[in-house]
Structure 1
Amino acid sequence: MKKQQGALLTSIKIDRSARKKIGVQLYMGLRDIILTGGLMAGDRLPATRTLAKEIQVSRTTVIDAIDRLVAEGLLESRVGAGTYVSEILENQRPVTPNVDTAQFTETRPRLAHNLTHATETYAPRSWLPHTTGAFVTALPALDAFPMAHWARLSARHLRGSRDDIMGYGQPKGLLQLRNAIATHLNASRGIRCHSEQIFITAGAQQAFSLIGSVLLNAGDQVWYENPGAAGARNAFLSRGAQMVPINVDKDGLIVSQGVQKSPHFRLAFVTPSHQQPLGHVMSLARRLELLDAANTAQAMIVEDDYDGDFYFGGQPHPPLKSIDTQSRVIYVGTFSKTLFPSLRLGFMLVPDGLIDTFDHLFASWISTAPTSVQSIVADFMDEGHFATHIRMMRRLYSARYDAMIDASKHMPDSFTLGETKSGFHTMGYLNKNADEQNLVRAAGENGVIVAPLNRYCLTPIAQKGLVLGFGSSTPEQINAGMKTLAKLVRHKI
């Protein structure tokens, strides 16, 4: 079958009621597109028959307009090849004058109050990693992902029914994937749940935003770990929430401080399985205390279990959701850490009392992740590849953490490597006189990527430190990175 080629020019509008002839309108429309950069030098125009059909004019009218532009030198015809925008035009196109944006200051659209307020307090997310290496955070071991299995499942899916591949899909997410997630949470994380409680989202960030839209009004108080994860914080700020920073100790969020600061809180956000970024595991006593505080205040808790599957320190503590007897916890998970970030795939597990609300929300206007991605992940889980991958990653991250412990021998006494039993990042604690920002900058200039602890803080804390990822770093990179950091810390950069 012969391929139709050439630019789409359907922006040209013909007014048949105008006094100006149709041929002139077409000529001027094409000329404007060329001169304003809509078509660049060397771009091909569609065939005259195709253009006539698209604009709904006669082919003779199209030929006359193109011949006129060829005569003016704006187009050139190539025998047997078609009509192209003239190469001569490249250096002769009229320059668009610079516009003084100041004159438009008074006419800028008025922004929503919540957004205007939120942008002033957003935590920056521009530092999310794009390349692997020491000591990049938030990136799993991409080099160990079973790409061959993934490619096979992808190819099989694309050979399936076009309705399944190309349709809109189920509003709250593919049932097969929701069943697979429910099975995994029951078996691996000890959470008793069913597929109707699970909603598939385009990453954990969308889940946090949706939770905020359902539960928060402007001015509502949210307990937030300090230091804590940036993404959910930004989502709640966008809803006009008042963030209440609650300090964290070795047992997790200090609930008594939260009760003292904000007894009538509406929402609490926690990372109990592996506190972000300090790495502590919330104790059972503290978990029960948090559940009791939420029940007293009639508040909800968002549990972000972003890397809880990667516990390598013996028997893990159960998720907060698994001991929630009052339906106070919304559990959020992500495949960005268990598989890879570009999937943009997450999920939330909501209490039965909120299913109807979220069902209505998803059926009304929420777009979730592509059906094809959901289907491939569902097959990946159902065929056992996911469980195998999790087991392998636990061993790998444990080995890479051991390599970090071994490499820390290069560090001076003013540096203390934090302990972790889960995930793929840990803390490097510095003395109180250290300059985090300069150290981060100097490390970056030497090819080592680290994040300062203060980046995660709502309000300043006394502790200084660096967040060190080891998931995407080989033992050799970890050792070399520690040597580089050691030199910088010794020189008090």
Structure 2
Amino acid sequence: MKTKAGAILSSIRIDRSQDRKISVQLYMGLRDIILSGGLKGGERLPATRTLASEIGVSRTTALDAVSRLISEGLLESRIGAGTFVSHTMTGRTPVKPRSAGTVSERQPRLSPSTIRAKKLFAERRRLPHKSQAFVTALPALNAFPMAQWARLSARHLRADRDAVMGYGNPYGLPRLRAAIATHLNASRGIQCDPEQVFVVGGAQQAFSLIGSMLLGQGEKVWFENPGAIGARNAFISQGADLVPVGVDDEGIIVEEGLAKAPDFRLAFVTPSHQQPLSKILSLARRLALLDAADQADAYIVEDDYDGDFYFGDQPLPTLKSIDTNGRVIYVGTFSKTLFPSLRLGFIVAPASMVDAMSTIFSAALSGVPTWPQAIVTDFIDEGHFATHIRTMRQHYKRRHEILHEQAWQLEAHMQIQRASAGFHTVGLFKDPARDERSFIEAATAAGLTLSGIGRYCLTPIEPKGVVIGYGAASDSEIRQGLDTMAHLFA
């Protein structure tokens, strides 16, 4: 290829060790040369046979890449004359080629609320995806009854295509809404009609929707400190003014919230298993919180993310079940009770909010995929869900006990708190000078997954420590993980 075009095209390098197809690599190489101005509008390309020979690919590969560029309008094929760069590229400002990972110099114009939110967002790394010690928020995936799930999945994927592949009910599959209402009544003491249940794409979407419905710019939200990062970021994105309210052995300190922001619009709590400190909101505090919300004409978001896995003594009633004035918006998720990739959660709205929420769902949302909802419905109706909950409750209780049986080797450095629900707890440093971040970095290098309590805080608290997940780790991984932590302290 002795022409100018040939010399430029010979600079394309094919990496056969990549997973990306060779024809795609060649197409991208040609496209970048054209867009960067290496070849001008109207300039002729070498024949595909010559191009293939010089670059070291098959002619079929070269034809595939060139045909793709012709279909995109970057190249033009003229019968009897050859292939040319499209004249539409004449006079265009060349686009500087970008390597993977580089950032455009031109920054997007963001709204003032987004600029503010970016500054306030809590650090949120990728959610856990690998079962090991001591990852949090991930259930024991290896204990899930996959055989029953596969059978139900096959049944529904063979069903009527309109039901499987079409647009579903924006509020959620009616059968699933009814099944959720029945389950909540039987297991969580919540009496609600199926019309109060709205199915969403996970709890995170629920928090964003609630925030968009109820919060104006700068309105105050009581937020547990420390508290759940996902909900925190969702409310910040809606322009809320988050008020950090401390947590003690009885849960959120209502008196502190009243002293800081008596005019609050919303309160966010995790009463069944505080995130991340694992405390249970006492009955006295529950009643005080309900009274405070009633006096302020505010609402309470109850995030019951793993309340089904209570393994302590008699569990306290959910906040929703003792709410007599329609102040509590209950949020649940199947990410913990089943598995995260389902991306299924639900909102139980107060009766007074059903009409407004129905309008928003029907006007602005298309609903979540129907067929996973149908599978979950049958999983509940056939009794597999209740059986799975009972099994996992004992599973997490056993893992919790193994954690504490082996915790003696950390006694000089850390106090691991007892939990009564879910699959995480906290370990508090006995040395107040110990730095969370440096300890976590050392743990990560040693193959452990830990998060510092400080990540969950709006304002710093004492003492320092780490969040320890035990649900997704095997018995041996828990023991080995504690051995590793003991060596790190030493």
Query: What TM-score, normalized by structure 1, do the two folds share?
Result: 0.81
Retained in 2: the 8 A contact 1:198–1:350? yes
* Structure 1 unaligned spans of 5+: 1-5, 10-23, 35-39, 56-60, 75-93
Name the CA shift for 1:45/1:121 in 2 (closer, same or farther; >3 Å): same
Deviation digits for residues 108-158 of structure 1 (CA, Å, limit 9, x no counterpart): 442111111111111122142111100000000000001111111111001
Q: Which amino acid aligns with 1:476?
A: S
Deviation digits for residues 449-493 of structure 1 (CA, Å, limit 9, x no counterpart): 11111010000012111100000011100000001101112x3xx
Describe how 1:63-142 pairs up with structure 2 within 5 A: 64=79, 68-69=82-83, 97=97, 108-142=107-141
Is 1:474 aligned to residue 474 of structure 2? yes
Q: Which amino acid aligns with 1:467?
A: V
How far is the alpha carbon of 1:43 from its aligned partner?
6.9
- Number of the residue aligned with 2:208: 209
CA distance in 2, matches of 1:125, 1:424: 20
- Number of the residue aligned with 2:35: none
CA distance in 2, matches of 1:483, 1:103: 43
CA distance in 2, matches of 1:206, 1:98: 34
- Number of the residue aligned with 1:3: none
Retained in 2: the 8 A contact 1:417–1:427? yes
Number of residues paired by the alignment? 431
Retained in 2: the 8 A contact 1:269–1:304? yes
CA distance in 2, matches of 1:467, 1:109: 36
How far is the alpha carbon of 1:62 from its aligned partner?
7.3
CA distance in 2, matches of 1:303, 1:44: 59
CA distance in 1, matches of 2:181, 2:111: 38
Secondary structure at the residue paired with 1:402? helix
CA distance in 2, matches of 1:448, 1:370: 35
Is 1:485 aligned to residue 485 of structure 2? yes
Retained in 1: the 8 A contact 2:169–2:367? no
How far is the alpha carbon of 1:97 from its aligned partner?
4.1
Retained in 2: the 8 A contact 1:312–1:421? yes
Name the CA shift for 1:484/1:355 in 2 (closer, same or farther; >3 Å): same
Name the CA shift for 1:98/1:142 in 2 (closer, same or farther; >3 Å): closer
Describe how 1:221-236 pairs up with structure 2 within 5 A: 221-236=220-235
- Number of the residue aligned with 2:461: 461
CA distance in 2, matches of 1:448, 1:109: 38
Secondary structure at the residue paired with 1:178? helix
Name the CA shift for 1:109/1:417 in 2 (closer, same or farther; >3 Å): closer
CA distance in 2, matches of 1:366, 1:452: 36
CA distance in 2, matches of 1:439, 1:244: 29
* Structure 2 unaligned spans of 5+: 1-22, 28-40, 52-57, 86-93
Query: What TM-score, normalized by structure 2, do the two folds share?
Result: 0.82
Name the CA shift for 1:98/1:138 in 2 (closer, same or farther; >3 Å): closer
- Number of the residue aligned with 1:378: 377
Secondary structure at the residue paired with 2:398? helix
Secondary structure at the residue paired with 2:484? helix
Q: Which amino acid aligns with 1:486?
A: A
How far is the alpha carbon of 1:45 from its aligned partner?
4.2
Is 1:401 aligned to residue 400 of structure 2? yes
Retained in 1: the 8 A contact 2:152–2:378? yes
Retained in 2: the 8 A contact 1:222–1:265? yes
Secondary structure at the residue paired with 2:179? helix
- Number of the residue aligned with 2:452: 452
CA distance in 2, matches of 1:131, 1:169: 32
- Number of the residue aligned with 2:18: none
Q: Which amino acid aligns with 2:454?
A: N
- Number of the residue aligned with 1:305: 304
Is 1:333 aligned to residue 348 of structure 2? no
CA distance in 2, matches of 1:95, 1:265: 51
- Number of the residue aligned with 1:270: 269
CA distance in 1, matches of 2:475, 2:69: 60
Retained in 1: the 8 A contact 2:168–2:368? no
Secondary structure at the residue paired with 1:378? helix
Q: Which amino acid aligns with 2:265?
A: R
Secondary structure at the residue paired with 2:367? coil
Retained in 2: the 8 A contact 1:51–1:62? no
Retained in 2: the 8 A contact 1:224–1:270? yes
- Number of the residue aligned with 2:89: none
Q: Which amino acid aligns with 2:480?
A: A
CA distance in 1, matches of 2:107, 2:317: 51
Q: Which amino acid aligns with 1:341?
A: P
- Number of the residue aligned with 2:4: none
- Number of the residue aligned with 2:321: 322
How far is the alpha carbon of 1:228 from its aligned partner?
0.4
CA distance in 2, matches of 1:142, 1:44: 46
Retained in 1: the 8 A contact 2:176–2:373? yes
Q: Which amino acid aligns with 2:479?
A: N
- Number of the residue aligned with 2:32: none
